[in-house]
Amino acid sequence: MSSVPKRDLFQNIRNMMEGDFNAEKFNDVTQNLYFLSESMLSEMIDTARVHAQSMFDCEDHLLQLISFIDLTTLNSDDTNDVVERLIDKAVLPYPTEPEAECAAICVYPARITGAKRYLHSKYDQQQSLAICSVAAGFPSGQYRMESKILEVKLAVEDGANEIDIVISRDAVIEQDWKRVYCFQDFIN
C-alpha cells in the first residue's frame, strides 16, 4: 500500500498543477488521492504497533527514533526558563547516550531569538538542533492573510530553521481549495 506523506501532499499537488490555481485541474489532480477507510487505518495502526514493539528490542533503533522527535512547548505561560529546559532536554534527551539528540524544538515566534541565543551560548555553535516555530495564525489559522505572511517572515528573520504553517481550517471545511492552495503557494 502506498501513501503520500502529509508534508509532501501540497508540494505534490503544486507540482502537478504547474502554476496558478485552476479549479478544474485541481479537482482532476485531487479526485484520485488515496484516502484511507477506517478498516485500512486500523490495519495500518496494528502493523505500526507490531513494528514499534519489535523496535524496543533494539537500542540503536530507539536512539535513531529520538533523532526524529521535535520537542514542543506551545503554552500560553511559556517563559525563557521553560524554553531553555526544553532545549536542554532536546540536546540530551537520553543522558546515558550523549550522542542521542532530538531533531528540533518548536516554540511560538516570540521565543525564537531567546531560544537561538541560549542554544548557541550554552552549546556548540555547530549544534544541529533546529529551532522550529508555529506561524500563520496558530492554532486556528483565523487571521488575515497579511498578518499570517508577516508572522512567517518575522519568524524566519528571527532565525527559525523550520516553520509549521497553519492553514485556514475553515477553508478546508468549506472545501475552498483555491484559498488553501494559494496561501501555501505564496508562502513557499
pLDDT in tens, 115-129: 999 999 999 766 789
Angle at the Cα of 81 (from 137 to 100), degrees rounded to 5?
Answer: 90
The whole-angstrom separation of Cα 174 and Cα 3 is 24
- In angstroms, the CA 52 to CA 23 distance is 41
Residues 167 and 115: their CA atoms lie apart, in Å, by 25
With beta carbons less than 8 A apart as the criterion, state whether 85 and 115 touch: no
Which CATH architecture best describes the domain 69-187?
A: Alpha-Beta Barrel (3.20)
pLDDT single digits (tens) 133-161 = 999 999 988 888 889 889 999 999 999 99
Specify the pTM. 0.71
